[in-house]
Structure 1
Amino acid sequence: MAQGSYVEPSFTRDTNYIPDRITRDARDGWPVEPGRYRLIAARACPWASRAIIVRRLLGLEDAISMGLAGPTHDANSWTFDLDPGGLDPVLQIPRLKDAYDGRFPDYPRGITVPAIVDVPTGGVVTNDFAPMITDLATQWTEHFRDGAPDLYPEPLRAEMEEVMRRVYTEVNNGVYRCGFAGSQEAYDEAYGRLFTALDWLEERLAGQRYLMGDAITMADVNLFTTLVRFDPVYHGHFKCNRGKLIELPALWGYARDLFQTPGFGDTVDFTQIKQHYYVVHRDINPTGIVPMGPDLSNWMTPHGRESLGGKAFGDGTAPGEIAVAERVPSADNPVLGPDGLLLT
């Protein structure tokens, strides 16, 4: 499997995504229509994990089906090697690139997840991960489960956008700037920016349970997908090693609080996360050896965040038990029951 090259003199993410949006008014030609679209994700990818979590929290499983690519990919495409025969069972394709090429022949940019595919035509609709989850939270409301939380509350949106922008540029993207830095100068700058932002988050979360106050929002989803990968991957593999997440009391408690909340930890696959980063990034880890550690059982230890008040789902309720077909199979993972408690 030929791997791509990731290290750059100074890493800059290519954000030239397919901008189409699925909306009630179908302004881009894509109407909200249950059963029409398929979310293609990978549990290994933090950007795709956002969409997986939001879909589950809102109860959109019946409205939007989901296909999962395997944790490793070559330089050209994510592949459906987890499925029988190596084909996505709905789209009947072996590589996500086939859906991109199905709409844009010889698609010239990176084949990324998450992607939403139009099932009738087999062509990709969008891979723009940020507006994708905003639209799931605002355009599909008629198809939410009973008790779905408001992940994008209108009174908080202006402040949320500021918080999410800083989290994205300094933390979500910041770990990649460290890991893919091709010079000492670029790494040093990236390292400083990352830990400045983590210190800001540590202070913010010391006095409130969630990023925006007393209930979870999309801002928490966006931060969680980086925090859950921090000690298993970013601390060592990406050299984000001033300290581990477990050494930041507020952030570590916050991350465990979310992990133990239905819809978060029950979508995390630590095995696939480690396989993806350590196997795919051969220019950082030439041997492809996947580390055994760290010990992940500590994700289920008491976090004490209840003392800050608030309720995860606000006036709503937790999602029900995860569908059997979508349960995380990895032996590495602490296993959560439908009540969010550890199963033994």
Structure 2
Amino acid sequence: MVRRAMWIRIAIGLVIFPILISYAFFIWNASWIRDYDIHYADKFNMTNTTVSAGDQVAVEGGTDTTRTCGRSFTVDAVKYLIDFNVNKNTWMSSHPLYKMGFFGVDWDHTWILDNKAAFQRGIHQAVGRTAIEISDRLGRVRGTSQIDPDLKDARGNVQFNQYTWYFNPFDSQPFGPTTPTPSYFRRTIDKLESYQARLMKCEATFDARADNLMQFLDRIANDIGSTSASLKTRAEDYNSGWFDTRADDIFMNAKGQLYAYYGILRAVRVDFSQVIETRGLNALWDQMEAQTLSAVMLEPSIISNGDEDGWLMPTHLTTIGFYILRVRSNLVELRSILDR
């Protein structure tokens, strides 16, 4: 009888122990964002460049095989952000325990362990938008030539579903076995590295023209404009203060999007340096970067969606939404100058 009870306890332990370890690992990954650095674009060494992306910087002996062209720092920013999302951190949205929820409740509808996933999705929204723009316009001559094969593959990989794991019993994704989301995103890095290598050998295109910059800024303005509208709707329709379980997700999603665009726009500034200098956009660009940085630096201890004049429970959604509108206003003004 004693031996039977012992075996029962062992069997229960063999079932419970892996579950406890899995949840401990999940909580450890979901609790904070690793390698977070607002000024990550400083790592791209952009101050030493003298030409716009794709422009020839050196010719040795006058032969095509020795040509060297400028790299695209916008591509570097996209690669860095994808690496940040899936290599420096665990991609939370496809994690099986995240998809399973908290006793059947979606993690996005709780107060805990969902902010990192929302932040990552915000980053990925900006990354996806930028990857599409590079593929469809910047990587083609006047947007009419054949699409670059590496950029085409990169665009397809970065647009893959964000919620797929090896096996998917908790949602509508194919049950499996299948390739998980992070693997597709890592392939995007490989394809962008291949494109960058060819670009630096003058074998690929980065069309840094004024109309392309204008179009890109317009896309970003529309993207963050949609985010601003979501913040406004939530702030107006709900005033639950600290008890709004969705406020933190919406706030962190917006913060992640701005975190990504802050570095991307700094890289774009270097890639389109000749256009920006010629059109006299530097002062306005400085202002736009400063507004974006101010928004990213918002770090409330507890995210609240209260009344606009609330003291105990303020409205952080309205606050970050205000900064987003200022950034968007700068982007629209930059676009207008380029359109003249």
TM surpasses 0.5: no
Please identify the structure whose Cα radius of gyration is greater: 2
TM-score (norm 1): 0.31
TM-score (norm 2): 0.32
